[in-house]
């Protein structure tokens, strides 16, 4: 019996730890689905290369695969490649891993599959990323000067702060199980960014849409093929059913 109680307590502790790791501070917002929006995916790819690829790699994605979302090879060469990169190269960050570990406390993870790996009980991977990129705030106590509600004490700074501006979270005291706690209420804009709040949310939606596409570039093709296969099987089922009825009609 004692072993059973200890096992249950351990399981509950692991669940709480997982909840905290996934972001227990705020609920995840639903990310917009832009898997078929080529202009949005193209803008997301631009944001990824300009703001994310400086530290994070996408080592399982090649630049020339961006042609699948309507970016020509010449556009890739002119706008997305550095001098040393080639169109057939994988998206690798130029940052030195030793420097990255010293600056951020850990080497920034590869983002090729992040939209699939970050899913949890609170939502999908895109939901997590969409909320995460919109919940940074200034925190002078942190080494980078930034913190995050979804990932408390994160080592990553807010790389899009010039677009979003600086914000502060607003909390309010609420009663919970007889105790007074602070609950997240909203945001207070401290300094404006180059984008309006709506424009920034749209930009983050584009970026997250691209990350979701990058995690499985063949998803749209797979869905289209699967739809036609199901329609074919449905039609075949009707034909076989009618042929079977006609065959047994003559025998009876």
Residue 243's Cβ-side half-sphere holds a number of Cα atoms within 13 Å equal to 6
Query: Chain-wide mean pLDDT for the chain?
Result: 87
Q: Write out pLDDT tens, residues 138-188.
A: 999 999 999 999 999 999 999 999 999 999 999 888 877 777 778 888 899
What is the sign, positive or negative, of the torsion defined by CA atoms of 45, 47, 49, 53?
negative
Q: Are 211 and 44 in contact (CB under 8 A)?
A: yes
Give the pLDDT confidence score for residue 1 in this predicted structure. Answer: 44
Whether pLDDT at 12 is above 50: no
Full-prediction pTM beyond 0.85? no
Q: Which CATH class is domain 20-217?
A: mainly alpha
- Mean pLDDT confidence for 219-233: 90
| 224's tokens | 């289209």
Q: Write out pLDDT tens, residues 78-108.
A: 999 987 789 999 999 999 989 988 888 889 9
Give the pLDDT confidence score for residue 252 in this predicted structure. Answer: 63
Name the DSSP class of 109: P
Q: Residue ranges of the domains in the chain?
A: 20-217, 220-252
Phi then psi dihedrals of residue 148, to 5 deg:
-145, 140
Give the pLDDT confidence score for residue 17 in this predicted structure. Answer: 40
Q: Write out pLDDT tens, residues 179-188.
A: 777 888 889 9
Give the pLDDT confidence score for residue 92 in this predicted structure. Answer: 93
């Amino acid at each position: 019996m004692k072993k059973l109680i200890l096992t249950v307590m351990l399981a509950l502790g692991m669940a709480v730890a997982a909840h905290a790791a996934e972001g227990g501070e705020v609920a995840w917002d639903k990310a917009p689905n832009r898997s078929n929006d080529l202009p949005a995916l193209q803008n997301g790819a631009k944001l990824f290369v300009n703001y994310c690829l400086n530290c994070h790699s996408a080592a399982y994605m090649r630049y020339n695969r961006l042609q699948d979302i309507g970016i020509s090879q010449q556009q890739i060469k002119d706008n997305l490649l550095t001098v040393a990169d080639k169109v057939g190269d994988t998206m690798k960050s130029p940052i030195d891993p030793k420097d990255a570990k010293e600056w951020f406390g850990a080497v920034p993870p590869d983002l090729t599959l992040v939209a699939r790996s970050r899913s949890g009980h609170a939502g999908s991977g895109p939901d997590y990323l969409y909320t995460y990129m919109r919940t940074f705030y200034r925190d002078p106590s942190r080494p980078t000067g930034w913190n995050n509600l979804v990932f408390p004490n994160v080592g990553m700074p807010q790389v899009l702060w010039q677009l979003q501006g600086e914000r502060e979270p607003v909390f309010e005291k609420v009663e919970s199980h007889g105790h007074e706690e602070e609950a997240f209420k909203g945001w207070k804009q401290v300094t404006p960014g180059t984008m309006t709040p709506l424009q920034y949310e749209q930009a983050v939606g584009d970026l997250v849409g691209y990350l979701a596409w990058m995690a499985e570039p063949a998803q749209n093709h797979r869905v289209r093929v699967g739809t036609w296969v199901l329609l074919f099987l449905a039609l075949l089922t009707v034909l076989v059913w009618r042929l079977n009825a006609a065959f047994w009609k003559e025998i009876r």
